[in-house]
Amino acid sequence: MRVFLSALVGLMLSASAFAQTASGTVSVVEHTSPAMAVKSSLDGPMFEVVGRADSDVYMFRINKETGEVLFLGNEKYVKLSREASEDDTTMAGKVNYQLVMSSNTVYLLNINTGTIWYLKSQGFTHANDSFVLVREK
């Protein structure tokens, strides 16, 4: 008898949970993973500010046509240099670059050629930070 009552209560609770979900009365909270990437758009204006919503440590302004990236911090901009690459081709008046931020790393991508740089940080001021090529093996 206990098994039957347990099964019946379990079935009723399952049906109740299904009914609440189906009717939309139960709200679902999505927790963003820290591993989710934040990235600049591939359309819209040529200049964009990119940063993680949960942190103000990494805030950047990108010129999506030229690939110029500025670090925003302490009421000033710091221009970040980029290692030269033969595969860094651009088209005038078009979006050529995208900035992608994972949980710990910032990447700059040339969307025309697939060339990727990562941000190498040299300290707290970011004055000596630069984008370094990701090399293929």
Residue 77 has what pLDDT?
87
Residue 36 has what pLDDT?
64
Residue 39 has what pLDDT?
84
Residue 125 has what pLDDT?
67
Residue 44 has what pLDDT?
80
Write out residues in the chain with pLDDT < 50, as ranges. Answer: 4-5, 8-9, 11-35
Integer CA distances (angstroms), 23 to 12, 56, 119, in order: 16, 39, 47
What digits encode the pLDDT tens for the residues 3-26? 544 554 454 444 444 444 344 444
